[in-house]
Each structure stands twice: as structure tokens, then as C-alpha cells.
Structure 1
């Protein structure tokens, strides 16, 4: 390790610095107790100064610091200077990377399941969303079921019907919940070694999973977001251009709150010639393409409320026949001094055994799915077309580093009805809820084309495309096939893995994804997790 030459600070300087830096004598340290805009501006200035960060802080930022009073509260040191510097660097020079240096945790509560997909679009942000597996939707907020009530819909001739049909769907969910839980208790008796709490949690999660398809896309969820100023700017520009009124309303709410924390990073969002022009570009492009597509493409089938085969349809639409040669060349690249074109020729001349030896050495001894090989796996990729229920789509959509695009949610592709609902005697009630959902959507789609998806139950299928490289595939498929996962998305991931091995013929690549689980549906998926949580609670 390179010897670090520590800086010297006077006692007075050290007294100031220790409040804002995690150490004063090491080469690695964190910034604390500073507003996000100060950290961003400090790093921006840092990139253009020969000084160390701590010295730069002392010389150019600390002059505005009031060190009197409670030293544990967030500092406002350098805020004015930071704002001025940011304006100069960001607005005048156009250095967008500055906005990557300050982040905010933001909560978006009571957002519809349609809106959550809009919120979770950006790659360079982090999200946590309320899970239908842990939240019982028979409970109410303010005496009302948990679904979004669009003001325009409510004030229209469909308002009373919308609320009534939503209530009936939630009533069906609430009525079937104890029925399905009782069926699971009969089918999967409690293990003598499990506590009542562990068993009850696992049964509830299983019932919630089986019945979540009854919930409409208007169902409410809470989303926690962490992102940089740049990430939020991009998100808000898209939301302000979105055709869904709920998205535009939340964009205004988010902008107002974010400006309390990182105002400088969001100055361009609502400037007419900056963010305004950008949002106009997005909306105009979307509308023009929709108009052109309607003219060039035949309309799809009208669809109905009938159930389809419970298995999702997964099609591998694109892969590289030469993928494994390119992959082995990429694996050897960093370990050699050859150009890639020469490596490709050498790999083509290798025996199958030698290629496999390279791949196995690169993979190494993976102890669990979190042990990931390097970026050579990003050399090859796959594109899938998927038709699966909206519940499965919601879970898969959150994998941000891949490319995912989806079509408008509607009842056109039918729905899936879990076998457990049939076995518990709930098929008729489930199908009635699906018919109600489809009929409400049909009534809404002409007067409210953008709000109509609110009416669609999560059991209905949606078509979406997923594109990712082999390294992303390893992460996604190993994670989403674990036995505790929901059966709907497990089936999608399992099919993808089989197609990589069998249709693409990339058996060696598929073999590297050794923690993909092809077992059938688990009895109580969350039972092992509940057991671990209980052990942690009791310190054992």
C-alpha cells in the first residue's frame, strides 16, 4: 500500500474538521453533517483544485460556518457559496456530472401500482416498494379501501361505478383471504418445531401471494427512493411529460419537497427553455409515435376475461450464435497483452475443453449466488419477449440495469388463476372479480385511456420485453428462482434459463448460473425466512 502523507491541521482547524469528516489523518473518509448541495459543490470544486478536500473545505467553505450552539445538527456551512458555485459549474458550464454528487432519500406514499412503475423507471436510483406479500389489502385507510381515486374519473359519469367496482374487487379479496388461509393450513400442517408466529406469517404470505391477482392496478403502495440530483431531474422531466395525471401531480409534489434539500440540482426542471423544452420533447415524441403506430399497425385482438394457461409465455427473440467464443475472448482479454481481434481468432481455434477451462477458471469457486464473476460476461446478451401476469411484471421490472419495455396494461391477454384458489373453492369468486375488472376497463378506455389501467386486476397478463447481458442474467435468474420467490416470476426466470441453454445453445453460460433453482413450487415459500427472522429476534 502507498504510504499516505497525512496533513497537519492546527487545533482550531481540527476542531472544525472532526465535525464534518470521519477522520483527519487517513486517505479514506466520509463527509457527514453537511447539506447535500454543500457536498456536491465541494466535490465539484475539488475536481478543479490541487488542494486536498479537507484543506479545500477549510479555505473556501468554512467561512460561512456558525460553530456556535448544537454541534450535532446538520451544518449549513458553505450553502450560499455552494449555490453560487453550482450555478456557475452546472448552469453555465453544463457539467451534468456535478448533479451526481448529492443524493436524497424520498418517500412517495399512497401511489397507485401504475404510478410505481413510472417512479421506478430510472436505472441510477434505488427503490423499495411495499410488497403485496406482506400487506393485507383488506385493511382500509380512512375508512376506505386502498386504491387511487383519480379526480377526473370520480367527477365523471363513471365515478360512482368506479368506486363501487373497486370496492367489490377488494371485498372479494377480503372474503377469500380467510378461505385460502384455512385451505393452506389444512394442506400444510404446522411443523412441531415452528412457533405459532412463524407458521402464521408463512401462511398469510402464501395466501397474499395467491390472491394478489384480484387487486386492481389502482391499489396503493408506498415507495422509498434514494437518488442523486441528476437521477431526480431525469425522473421529474419524464413524470412532467407523462400522460397519467397522477404522475404529473406527484412530480409537482416531489419537486417541491426536493427543493427543500437540493434546490440547485433541480433548477432546470421547470425552466421553460430547459426542463420545459425537454418534457415537451418527450411528450411530443410519444404522441407522434402512438399516432403513427395506430395508422401502420393492425389493432390487436379485443380480448376477454377468460383465463389462459397459468404458465407465462417466454420467447427468446435475440441472441448471438457466436456468444461463447466472444465470451472466452473477453475473459482472456485482461489477462493477456493481445488485441481482441487476435484473441477471437485464437479462441476459435481452441478445443471445446480449453474454452470450458477458461470459463470455469473465470467463474471460480462460487460459494453462493452473491459471488459474481467479472464484467467479461457483459460481452454477450439476450432479449426476451414475455407474456406474464402484471404481478410478476411488477417484480421483474425493478431490475434496473437491464432494458425493459412494456405495453399498455389491459385485459386483452387474459388472466392467470392460481391453482390454490381453485383448490380452496374460490375460482367462481375470482373469475367474477376478473369479469368486473374487464368490464370497468372497457367502460373507461375511451373517455379515460390513460386512467383505464387502474381498473385492471394484477392477475391480467401484460406483454413486456427484457434485454440483458449474461452477467445481468446470472444475477436476475439466480435471484428470481429462489424457492422463497413468488411462483409467477420464478416460472419466467426458469424458462429464460432453459432457453439460454437449449434454444441459444449456450449451455456453458447457463451452467455458470449454477444457483438457478428449477425446483417446483415450495409449500410455504416464506417459512425459512420467517424462521431466520425469529432466531434473530431471540438472538439464537
Structure 2
């Protein structure tokens, strides 16, 4: 680092470099104004060159023939480099060096779960809590008609049923807002805008169970080229036409910004072969699963069940906490932790966890030494929120009406129960008609968010701390708050990891009437404290 600290560039070189590097005099700098493929290629050269990135840029990537460098500087050179690295060296890691933001708009809430499956990407999804679905766009309610139904005789029934669901949602939205305003009147001192937004959020949270999985959403994704390649391979192998069509559109757009990274996706000997493998294993697994479980009876279960954990997990976390500050090998530290008294182990954990001031203060990787596996049966709306946690393992079963549906207490109290039941009945009936027509993969589009879905979540204790403290915060949706509160109790009472559960001190069990009110009050306060813009 210090050997390159005093690298000197001529006046002409500095003029060429200045638009693309945040400084020319220090050993730490950022790249800017360059195509993703060029930035990635520059870093890829690090492993096979003793030169600095700025020197490599000048000598190998900067095209000076036009007098001044343009936005496409070095692209041709970068693409040739990637072709050689991928094909000759087989080095996939260079695909981690380019990143892209992609927007997928108007996709179904079935497809959002496909898009958000990968761990190593970032996602933001349109929220049913803040966006009401009570207006039409172009004369149509905001739901997706899957490609399989575009020319199908059942399209009319599909649209009639989903129109009914959206109409019911729209009719009850103002009525639920009035109901909540009467039940939870505004307190003196509460800002009017904050109170109004909280009432609306409460109504939207309650009514989202009426929305079908076909409901449209906008999703923003950011990921590396490698992450996009894996996403596209899965989507191209997916049984749903919407997923395959979206993959084609994404590939076309990504090739406009990172073409060199995605050469293999649709090559017969590479990407197509990989996608074929995914299709084959999915079908084979489905077939063998039906053979072994087809006649099994599903027994009633609690909403959350802790199905697997390590009884010795808390002791292993103690040993792991000692590891980085010790010179002893891992197995000897575990033996030492087992010889400790319970009080001594608690002392170690207290020192390791420290005095946490808020939920963002988290202990280190020792908490990754033990795990919890939960089987969850809850409504699709809560599943959508929990599925977006990526630093854990989550799998879900086919979405069907077989497990029944949720009826929020407010639906009964406000007099909406009959309309709610009718919506669920029509939703389930459409699902069954689609299945009888051989459209089992498409049938979940018809199901309301209130129907339950079974999934498992397996996470280490460190991720459990993050998920449970975040998802039990007072502003959270009541259903996933309830699910995560149960998980926390199971860690303490069934796994017996009481010290780990106690370390999760920001898991919140408080009963809240208007979940968003506290956050909206804070928002109003921040706006008041923000200095006025200068004129």
C-alpha cells in the first residue's frame, strides 16, 4: 500500500484519470463514471498484475484515440478480458465484481417470491401497508393475468373472481378506517397527519388478507452479475410462464449494461443445460415426494413448532465466544465450556453480549454456533414479510386453501365477516377450478393473502436475534409479530437456551393498538426538527 502511495501521474494522465477516480494522490479511492463491466474488469486484473488500478486503467482500458474519454471507455477491452477469464480460466468469481439495479414493475406476488429467493441480493418491494389497492389503472384492478390464462376459457372466471376480491377490499377500506378511528380516537397531542396515516395503515394491514397472490407489486433488485446469472437460470427453469417471461426481459435489459457477465445464461452447453438440470430435479423430487407422502394425513399443529435445535447449543456458543480471544483449539474450548458451571457460562455470555443500547447492537459470530429450525403455518401475507430475510434457510410448500384462512378480529367486530368469508370461498373455488383444468402451478394466483401457507425457517442464534427483534417491534404487522414472539418463547422454553433468549432483550411483547402510531409520531418529530431549506 505504501509502495504505491506516492505514485506520480503526469498532468495529461491526471486529466484522463480525474473523471473516473475520487482522488489521484492517496492509496484509498473509489471508482466512478465507469460502466460496471469496466470496473469489474479492472479489479479482475488485480490478481495477475503488479500495477495499480489507476495505472492499469491508463495503460489497458483508456481509449485515447478520440481525444477525450467517453462513458463507454474500456468496454471492448473489458469484454475481451471477461471472455478469456470465463472461458479459459473458468474463474466465476469475477462475476461478483459488477453490480446492477433492476426494477421489475407490475409483477405478481407469486413472482416476487421467485425474484427474492437468492441470498446475495438486495430487494425492496412495494408494501401493502403503505400502498392502497383501491384504484384501477387503465380501467383494470391491479392484478396479473398469468400467461397461461391469457387465451384460456377460464380467464373470464378468473377476472370475475379477482374483480370481486378487489371490489370488496375497496368497499371496506373507508369503512375500516372509520371503524378504527372510532375505536382508537386521536389522543391530545398526537399530530393529525401521524394519526391519520396510522389509521390508514391499520385498515390496510387488516384488509390485505383480501388481496390475491396475483396482486401486482413493484420490486427493486440490486445484485452482482453472478447473483443475476443464478437468478436467471432458476427463472428460466421455472414452471410459471410469468417467471420465464420476466427472465427473458431481465436478460435483455441486463445485457445492455453488463453483457460480458451473462454470455452463458442461454448457451445450450452452459446455462440451458443448467436450467434443464433444475427442471429435472424439481420434477423428480415432486414425483418421489408424492409417492411417499401422497396418502399421509395432515394433523392439526400449532402455528409455530420448533422442530430441531441443539440441546448443547448454548454451551457451544460459550466456547465460540472464547475462541477469538484464546490460543486453545476449538474442541478444547468446548470441553472447557462443558466443565463450567451454569453461572460461569452466563458470565461469559454477559461479557460477550455486552450492554446493548438498541437492537442494532449485536454480539459477534459466536452466536452462529447454534441453530433453530421452525415449522410455521401462517397466512401468506406474513409469509411474504418473513420470506425476505435472506441470511437463513427458508423453504415453503405449495400455496393452497387446504390449511384454511385467517380472520382478523377487527373483521368480525366491524361487521365484515360475511363479505370476508364470501371472498375466501370464491377465491378457493377458483383455485379448485384451475387445478381441475390442469393448471396447478397457476392456481395459487387466485388465493387471498389470508390463506395459510406452511414453510420452515432455519437460522442461527445471531440471525434469530436480528429477525425476532426486528419483527416484534411495535410497528410490525400483528401476525408476524405473533409468529416471532412464539419463536422467542420456544428458544427459551423448549430449546432451553434461556441465556440466548435473554440476550435478545429487544424482542417486544407489548400489546399495541395502532402499530404505526409510534413510528409516525417519530417521523413527524424528525420533520419538525429538520432545518428549513435555505432560499
TM-score (norm 1): 0.95
Range that drifts further, 26-35 or 523-532: 523-532
> What is the alpha-carbon distance in structure 2 between the residues aligned to residue 65 and residue 490 of structure 1?
61
1:300 to partner: Cα distance: 6.1
> Separation in 2 of the partners of 1:136 and 1:29?
44
Is the contact between residue 147 and residue 242 of structure 2 (CA under 8 Å) also seen in structure 1?
A: no
Distance 2:526 2:265 in 1: 45
The equivalent of 1:457 in structure 2 is 448
Question: Over the residues paired in the alignment, what is the CA RMSD in angstroms?
Answer: 1.8
- Residue in structure 2 matching 1:435, options 425, 431, 444: 425
Verify the 8 A CA contact 2:148 2:442 in the aligned structure 1.
no
Aligned residues of 2:321 and 2:352 also touching (Cα < 8 A) = yes
Pairs within 5 Å for 1:99-498? 99-299=95-295, 313-446=303-436, 447-498=438-489
Residue aligned with 2:27, SS: coil
Q: CA deviation at 1:463?
A: 0.2
- Cα gap change, 1:52/1:384 in structure 2, threshold over 3 Å: closer, same or farther? same
**Matches of 1:300 and 1:537, distance apart in 2:** 57
* Cα displacement (A) at 1:12: 1.3
The answer for the alignment partner of 2:533 in structure 1 is none
Aligned partners of 1:347, 1:23: CA distance in 2, in Å?
50
Which whole-Å CA distance do the structure 2 matches of 1:299 and 1:371 have between them?
Answer: 48
Q: Quick one: distance in 1 between partners of 2:334 and 2:2?
A: 37
1:530 to 503, 512, 520: 520
Structure 1 range deviating more: 291-300 or 454-463: 291-300
Alignment partner, residue 81 of structure 1: 77
How far apart are 1:188 and its partner, in Å? 0.8
What displacement does 1:4 show? 7.6
CA distance in 1, matches of 2:404, 2:286: 23
- Cα deviation for residue 152 of structure 1 reads 2.6
Aligned 8 A contact 1:478 1:516 in 2? yes
What secondary structure, in the 3-state scheme, does the structure 2 residue paired with 1:90 have?
helix
Separation in 2, partners of 1:454, 1:518: 34
Residue 184 of structure 1 and its aligned partner are, at CA, apart by 0.3
Q: Distance in 2 between matches of 1:461 and 1:352?
A: 41
Question: CA separation in 2, counterparts of 1:135 and 1:5?
Answer: 51
In structure 2, the residue corresponding to 1:387 is in which secondary structure?
strand
CA contact (8 A) 1:301 1:412 kept: no
- Which segments of 5 or more consecutive residues in structure 1 lack a partner in the other structure? none
Contact 1:65 1:77 in 2 (8 A): no
Q: Map Cα deviations across residues 413-436 of structure 1 (whole Å, 9 max, x no partner).
A: 000011111111111111110001
Q: Could you report, residue by residue, the CA deviation over 1:362-414 in whole angstroms, capped at 9, with x for unpaired residues?
A: 11111100011111111111111000000000000000110000000010000
1:15-54 maps to which residues of 2 (within 5 A)? 15-54=15-54
Q: Shift of the alpha carbon at 1:161?
A: 0.6
How many Å separate the matches in 2 of 1:474 and 1:151? 41
Counterpart position of 1:505: 496
**Number of equivalences:** 529
Q: Unpaired runs of 5+ in structure 2?
A: 531-535
Instruction: Give the Cα separation in 2 of the matches to 1:221 and 1:290.
Output: 29
- How far residue 146 of structure 1 moved from its aligned partner, in angstroms, is 0.6
